[in-house]
A and B are shown apart, each in its own frame.
Chain A
Amino acid sequence: MKNTKKITYISLLIAQAMILNYVERLIPFNVGIPGAKLGLANIITLVCIETLNLKNTLIVILLRTTLSAAMFGNVSAYIYSVCGALLSFAVMAFCIKSKKISLITISIIGAIFHNLGQLSAAAVIIENYRIGIFLPFLVLIAIPTGLFVGTCSKGLLSYLYRTDLYFKEK
C-alpha cells in the first residue's frame, strides 16, 4: 500500500509541474533576455526535495522536463531546460543536505544555477561563449523570481503538511 501511495504522489507532482509549466507560458513575462522566466515548475521541485529522497526527486525532474517538452516544447528548448534543471537540482540537493539554508534561499540558488546551466548548454550548442554577457541579467532576475517561487513552495508545504495527501520519505 505504501508503495502505491508513493507512486501516486510522484505522478501527481509530475502532473502539477507540467501544468505549472503550461500556465507559465500563458503569463506574459518576456524581458528580452534568453532564458529568463518565472520558473513556476520549480515550486514542485522544491516540494519534492523537501519530501522525497534525491533519487525520486531526480525522477520527477527528468520526467517533468521530458513530458513538458513532448507536449508543449521543442527539441532545442528541451536540451537547454534539461541542462538547467539538472545543474539546479545538483546544487539544491547539496544545499538541502546542509540543513542550514532556508527553502527560499535554496529556491534563489536553484534559479541562478538553472540559468547558469541553461546558458552554458546554449553556449556549447551554438558555439558562442559571448552569450555569457547575459548572465548578470539572469542572476538579477533570478533573485525576485526565486524569492516568489520559494515563498510559494513554503506556503504550499505548510498546507500540505496539514493534510494526509503528502508522502514523506525522509
Chain B
Amino acid sequence: MILLKKREIIIILIVAIFAAIAILLINKESPAVSGQYVVITVNKELYKKIPFDNDTCETIVVQTDLGSNTIVINNNSVNVMDADCPDLVCVNTKPATQTGDMIVCLPHRLIVEITDR
C-alpha cells in the first residue's frame, strides 16, 4: 500500500517550510518601543486600553454575557490566567510580551493585544 507519492511529500515539505519561515518572521524580536498599550476588545468594541510598561501591574476580570476571562498584567507580560470558555485556548496561549502579540478567546470574542498606538 503506497501511502504518499514522492511528489506529494515534496509539496507538503515545501508548505511546511513556508509556514516555518512565516512563524520565524512573526516571532522576530521587535525592538522595545516606549508607549505601548494593552488593548482589550470584546465583541468588536474596545473594552479597555491600558498603558503598558515595565511596572504595569494589574488584574482585569472581563465579565460579559458570553463569559469571563481573567487577564493579569505584570513583569512585562500579559497573560490570561483564567476563563470559563470550553476550550481554554486563551489560558494556554503563551503570555504576550511585545508589540503585535495577541491572545484570543474565540468563544468569548475577546482579543487582548499589545500595540504601540
Contacts and interface: CB of A to CB of B under 8 A. Distances in A.
Interface stretch (B30-38, B56-64, B68-76, B103-111): B103-111
Contacts of B94: 32
A35 B41 CA distance: 19
A33 B93 contact: yes
B106 A136 contact: no
Interface in A94-119: 101-102, 104-105, 108, 112
B19 interface: yes
Contact of A76 (B100, B107, B113): B107
B89 A32 contact: yes
Contacts of A33: 89, 93
A108 B22 CA distance: 19
Contacts of A125: 109
B23 A136 contact: yes
Nearest to A127: B44
A131 B12 contact: no
A126 interface: yes
Interface residues of A, number: 36
Contacts of A135: 22
A102 B5 contact: yes
B102 to A, nearest CB: 7
B66 interface: yes
Interface string A127-146: 11011011111011001000
Query: Which size bracket describes the interface of B in this complex?
Result: 35 or more
Given A32-B89, A74-B107, A127-B44, A140 B16 contact: yes
A151 B12 CA distance: 15
A34 B94 CA distance: 12
A154 interface: yes
Contacts of B92: 30-32
Nearest to A35: B106
A139 B91 CA distance: 21
A47 interface: no
A122 interface: yes
A37 to B, nearest CB: 8
Contacts of A151: 3
A158 interface: yes
B18 to A, nearest CB: 8
Interface in A29-75: 30-36, 73-74
Interface of B: 1-5, 8, 11-12, 15-16, 18-20, 22-23, 26, 41, 43-44, 66, 86-94, 100, 102, 104-107, 109, 111, 113
11 contacts: A32-B90, A36-B89, A104-B4, A105-B8, A122-B106, A126-B43, A126-B106, A126-B111, A136-B22, A139-B19, A158-B1
